[in-house]
Chains A and B, each alone.
Chain A
Amino acid sequence: MYEGAVQDLIDELGRLPGVGPKSAQRIAFHLLQSDAVDVQRLTDALTQVKAKVRFCVICHNIAESEQCRICADPRRDLTSICVVEEPKDVVAIERTREFRGRYHVLGGAISPIDGIGPDDLTFRELMTRLASGEVTEIIIATDPNLEGEATASYLARFLKGMGIKITRLASGLPVGGDLEYADEVTLGRAFEGRRLLDA
């Protein structure tokens, strides 16, 4: 146990995800030994992230103005929307450079056991976006786990009859892995989603 400010800092750091009491203590002492300028930079970054960052009014991704940079970009394809669970997923898909449309961030996945239902996510906002009629394809990119799969099946049912093409990201074998180590569910999905090879 330390006194005053040091213990307060350790306690606050210890509340961060993945930071235990030992790590919190190590970070606190690192900050104590750092230059005042470095610590000030960290303080400013923490203050600004809360002051500046908000959610995009269109896609609910994190943004520094009313619209995120993707929604504000006129070069993006307006006819396709990729639906993801979290803002982190937008970054992961953007890294692929395969998708040029826009996104819609649901804010999580349907998880009845955790009390998260469709009303807690941004399904209604997605419907509002689709009302304009310019979207022709919805790509469901929820996590490849059961909650993500259930959210995708709900979304497919929700959008049924709107005349929009609904697709789901393929699930299957990871690149660089050995087939013999694949589990039955993944291998089964890889078979389901097999594609025709052009000779």
Chain B
Amino acid sequence: MPLYRDQGIVLRTHKLGEADRIITVLTRSLGKVRTVGKGVRRTKSRFGARLEPGMLVDLQCYEGRNLDTVTQAETLESWGDVCARDYDAWTAANAVLETCDRLTEEREPALQQYLLVTGAMRSLAGKEHDPNLVLDAYLLRALAVAGWAPSFHDCAKCGAEGPHRAFHIVSGGAVCSVCRPPGSSAPAPETLRLLAALLAGDWMIADSSDVRHRREGSGLTTAFLQWHLERGVRSLRMVER
């Protein structure tokens, strides 16, 4: 397959040489691919603007030994460009894209991750909800798709029906009074309800939540993500919560 075509979202870019860029794209059917965009940093580049982070593109590449080379790119959605005009949306979008990059492997199809990241970027660009809520919803769902679904209602250890007061990241979420390990936190019940709503996509509950509970939920989500990824997501430091 020397030449291939696929839809994909640009996750990140690195400068290469004088005017080129390495572009990491999560494609719909091939998974994550690393491609070279030749001359895309020149102001007269025909597709430089299309290969920026957060852009959804129809991509044609030819396979190389190490890296593929982009031969054509058509914009399908310019979510990155829209988000860059709003600093809060931009920092959230960066955290979404970086997390997606960390959760996917090269050349391993990841359709669910693709659908999640495109959904999150569409929502951020459309200003449908608070960018922090969109980010937390994405992080929780992306972790769930990766096999680390947190439990916010039933006990994560014994499965006892909730709601429970204690929350323990290492155990996987809410824990009952019997299973509660030392060092568990006790978030507000509204916070756990908000996180469950974000995981399930219940935006009625999420949008009407209190700022205090959103902030507490963001802290738990970030801690949960960093525990499973073992290394911090750098973009999250820039998100104003």
Contacts and interface: CB of A to CB of B under 8 A. Distances in A.
B52 interface: yes
Interface residues of B, number: 34
Given A149-B84, A153-B84, A112 B17 contact: no
Interface stretch (B43-51, B170-178, B183-191, B198-206): B43-51
B84 A144 contact: no
Going nearest first, the 5 A-B pairs with the smallest beta carbon separation are A112-B235, A112-B94, A149-B84, A185-B49, A112-B238
Interface stretch (B74-82, B111-119, B149-157): B74-82
B137 to A, nearest CB: 19
Given A146-B52, A153-B84, A157-B87, A110 B46 contact: no
A112 B234 contact: yes
B75 A174 contact: no
Nearest to B42: A174
B237 A115 contact: yes
Interface in A128-177: 144-147, 149-150, 153-154, 157, 174, 176-177
Contacts of A114: 234
A147 to B, nearest CB: 8
Given A111-B94, A113-B94, A184-B78, 13 more contacts: A112-B91, A112-B238, A113-B98, A113-B234, A114-B234, A115-B237, A144-B43, A145-B49, A145-B52, A149-B85, A150-B90, A153-B86, A185-B55
A150 B84 contact: yes
B140 interface: no
A113 B235 CA distance: 5
Interface string A25-43: 0000000000000000000
Interface in B80-121: 80-81, 83-87, 90-91, 94-95, 97-98
Contact of A181 (B46, B87, B235): B46
A175 to B, nearest CB: 10
B85 A153 contact: yes
Contact of B54 (A146, A183, A184): A146
Contacts of B54: 146
A49 B54 CA distance: 39
B32 interface: no
B44 A174 contact: yes
Nearest to A174: B44
26 contacts: A18-B18, A110-B238, A112-B94, A112-B98, A112-B238, A113-B12, A113-B97, A114-B234, A115-B234, A145-B49, A146-B53, A146-B90, A149-B81, A150-B84, A150-B90, A153-B85, A174-B43, A183-B46, A183-B47, A183-B49, A183-B75, A184-B49, A185-B49, A185-B50, A185-B81, A188-B78
Contacts of A174: 43-44
B191 to A, nearest CB: 25
Nearest to B77: A184
Does more than half of chain A's interface fall in helix, strand or loop, or is it mixed?
helix
A18 B17 contact: yes
A112 B97 CA distance: 11
Contacts of B95: 112
A145 B53 CA distance: 10
Nearest to B86: A153
A139 B238 CA distance: 25
A120 to B, nearest CB: 10
A172 to B, nearest CB: 11
A117 interface: yes
A146 B80 contact: yes
Contacts of B53: 113, 146
Contact of A150 (B47, B87, B97, B239): B87
A185 B238 contact: no
Interface string B227-241: 000000011011100
